[in-house]
Copies of this chain bind each other. A is one copy, B any other.
Amino acid sequence: MARASTTSDAFNAVAEPRRRDILSFLVAQERPVNDIVASLGLPQPSVSKHLRVLLEVGLVDVRRDGRQMFYRTNANAIRPLHEWTSTFERYWRHQLTRIKERAEANELQS
């Protein structure tokens, strides 16, 4: 077996930086493909391929209007990632507390 497919879930789809850029760009409002091409400065076929991956895992939705395809980020599909990372939140808070305490202890010394 090789690495899991990029279309296997949101975690894999989002590992590619360009796809994260696209998601950020499409979250405020839907946009035709050419807007993405122009704004991110990527070759059009590349954008289409990335959009296909994002579509397959449900990270974007599409709507056709004439010959244009309007894509929009489906923010809901990002929630699982957010929730997974949230389970670690209390631990980095812990770390911060310890770092802070150490810093304060050092200030008392000096």
Contacts and interface: CB of A to CB of B under 8 A. Distances in A.
Q: How many copies make up the complex?
A: 2
Nearest to A91: B75
Given A3-B3, A4-B16, A73-B91, A82 B85 contact: yes
A16 B9 CA distance: 10
A100 interface: no
A38 to B, nearest CB: 22
Interface residues of A, number: 31
Contacts of A15: 3-4, 11-12, 14-15
A6 interface: yes
18 contacts: A3-B3, A3-B15, A4-B15, A4-B16, A4-B17, A11-B14, A11-B15, A11-B20, A20-B84, A23-B88, A27-B88, A75-B88, A75-B92, A78-B88, A78-B92, A79-B92, A82-B89, A85-B85
